[in-house]
Structure 1
């Protein structure tokens, strides 16, 4: 591993500089931007993909191939931002995508597609349940588990003076209803109402703080009995970013809820299950993150922890989930990210990641990563 890691370092010696491309036409200015990124990864244990997938971590009693090197450029990004002046205020339109998939083979994936005007956002954008204050810079594209969802979804949002409220389409990432062991019950997800999210961010002295919440309806339909059940889930996320000095920044978040599903980032379980009586029951979950950044030289050292846990005891007892299902994930990161010149970023990172099943089985994986980014 040492020899391969040194190779990663030597490959980071090449650099270029560039700038975004602007095109003016009438009242509109279009900016073409993006970056080319090379990830150089060595998985000491099981292969985890182009970004860490906790489900792929081998348990201690599993025999798997160990030691995997992979290079990929699938996180490279391309976007267009158009600013148009109108008599009633400027309209900003953004379309952005990349090729980010666990296999690193594409196809082109839509990240953002939205328009913004006078505090209104319509389209696909970051979920309003996440504020970004607690997010530690990492080379691994996954980042810290356990915070508010670091994900994008279609929505209609209004923002004013630090407060924002949105109607969001939860999408498939928020999880599905787990079925019961009773073969007569075969639930299918049913979405009747959009999710409602709200967020407030402000400053307390030099510190930034935010709180966000989500209320959502969870439903399933059983075709065999022609019946449906529904319930409500909720989630709360509190996050902060505190500059301890000119060089040191502390970040942290706590997330808790019932029936949250994917609104808790990398929740190991579904939001709800159906018991043997056909009743829908929501699943409690909890997550937390902590991170510290220290400016040094041309960049920063970053170290952090993230944990995401679900309480699935009742679901296992009801037979909706087996005791081999995942109950918790966690990750530890240590990296140095620096920019020797405008438009160029290098990074080195080590990470330790674990998963634990409800029956107590667990496993860990270590990943070493280097990265080169040329932005324009």
Structure 2
């Protein structure tokens, strides 16, 4: 029983580190203010990209798959684009009261201005505020330099307002829903929260996670209305093959919840010609490996993909045949930590996009990152 408790404490510590955006960092500046235990943390980071084939970078130099040209347009694109920014840099503060109440506020500069990432409080088993969706896990993720990482990772992979209850390896939440309905104009509505349940645990060298999400989609024009339920589920796992090598992966399925199918960019549903709300399904996944070389050096290789079924939506005239139906990416990187709190790396990426009508295109790019933690 004692070993199980230690295991769960270790898992919770890892989850908290992820929630603070501190995974892989070396800690924080800790001090006492009155009766409060305080921590200030963050990093400064440079991201630079060279897009070999097309201009496909977004802020933080992340891969923008929607920018990949397809069909005849792919042949007309000029080549060679460089860019750099430091907007991924972040700062956060955590305060813990003598009663055990913890408050965390964190922001970064993506978009050019201070952006709220986390703002939540927790006491015992209850958390309330904005932080990582409970329908998210980092267990199966491969380490990438791309801030937005691979398609097909577990769940939402972002933050949302929520109330969460955690007991042991299980957590449950009611969250602000993430819906997108095609052909609904401004009549789309959220009638209830998204409800999630997640299991996350480990045994020996295996870490694993599984989750489900249910939400209601709806629209109401005042004369026409309809609603439907959407759901999503994922599983993720990481296995330590040796002290140096890990393999990890994720699998996802959604129907009426494609906002939670990571990097699909797809609508969750559409309104057909009869005014009926029809859900759209999709699936995705990722697989990867990490190899520690010693001396603070590592190599990571990963592949991810997502695909949605748009055939009915296009046939019903709710979506155009030029809508993206699938994206995939293959990446490999080398990361080096020359001293504590400093990471540098280079990454090669290859991405593909295909639309519902069968047009496709691809693009290759190089990334460089330098990160200094405190």
RMSD: 1.6
Question: Among 32, 42, 63, which residue is 1:52 paired with?
Answer: 63
The answer to whether the 8 Å contact 1:268/1:327 transfers is no
Distance in 2 between the 1:59 and 1:144 partners?
20
Question: Among 355, 360, 367, which residue is 2:358 paired with?
Answer: 360
Structure 1 residue 29: Cα displacement: 1.9
Distance in 1 between the 2:338 and 2:372 partners?
11
* Residues 143-198 of structure 1, C-alpha deviations (whole Å, 9 max, x = no match): 0111222110000001111100000002xxx341101xxxxx74621011000011
Q: Aligned residues, how many?
A: 343
- Is residue 28 from structure 1 mapped to residue 36 from structure 2 by the alignment? yes
Structure 1 residue 317: Cα displacement: 0.7
Distance in 1 between the 2:260 and 2:345 partners?
29
Q: What residue number does 1:10 align with?
A: none
SS at match of 2:259: helix
Distance in 1 between the 2:141 and 2:349 partners?
16
Q: What residue number does 1:339 align with?
A: 337
| Higher mean C-alpha deviation, range 24-33 or range 284-293 | 24-33
Q: What residue number does 1:314 align with?
A: 312
Question: Among 244, 268, 285, which residue is 1:271 paired with?
Answer: 268
Distance in 2 between the 1:52 and 1:119 partners?
37
Q: What residue number does 1:176 align with?
A: 180
Q: What residue number does 1:113 align with?
A: 119
TM-score by length of 2: 0.89
The answer to whether the 8 Å contact 1:257/1:285 transfers is yes
The 5-angstrom pairing of residues 16-95 of structure 1 reads 20-48=28-56, 49=58, 50-62=61-73, 63-86=76-99, 90-95=100-105
* Residues 282-318 of structure 1, C-alpha deviations (whole Å, 9 max, x = no match): 0011011001001113221100000011001111111
Structure 1 residue 35: Cα displacement: 0.4
Structure 1 residue 357: Cα displacement: 0.1
* Residues 101-121 of structure 1, C-alpha deviations (whole Å, 9 max, x = no match): 3xxxx1211111111110211
Distance in 1 between the 2:28 and 2:276 partners?
54
The answer to whether the 8 Å contact 1:177/1:188 transfers is no
Describe the shift of the 1:326–1:166 C-alpha distance in structure 2 as closer, same or farther (beyond 3 A).
Answer: same
Distance in 1 between the 2:264 and 2:31 partners?
42
Describe the shift of the 1:186–1:60 C-alpha distance in structure 2 as closer, same or farther (beyond 3 A).
Answer: closer
Structure 1 residue 268: Cα displacement: 3.4
Q: Structure 2: where are the runs of 5+ without partners?
A: 1-24
* Residues 323-354 of structure 1, C-alpha deviations (whole Å, 9 max, x = no match): 11100011111001121111101111000111
SS at match of 2:72: coil
SS at match of 2:312: helix
Question: Among 281, 284, 287, which residue is 1:284 paired with?
Answer: 281
Structure 1 residue 40: Cα displacement: 1.5
- Is residue 243 from structure 1 mapped to residue 251 from structure 2 by the alignment? no
Structure 1 residue 203: Cα displacement: 2.1
Q: What residue number does 2:211 align with?
A: 212
The answer to whether the 8 Å contact 2:258/2:281 transfers is no
Distance in 1 between the 2:235 and 2:64 partners?
25
* Residues 33-77 of structure 1, C-alpha deviations (whole Å, 9 max, x = no match): 110001121011222222111111111411223211111101001
The answer to whether the 8 Å contact 1:333/1:351 transfers is yes
Distance in 2 between the 1:40 and 1:267 partners?
24
Q: Structure 1: where are the runs of 5+ without partners?
A: 1-16, 180-184
- Is residue 159 from structure 1 mapped to residue 157 from structure 2 by the alignment? no
Distance in 2 between the 1:124 and 1:65 partners?
41
SS at match of 1:329: strand
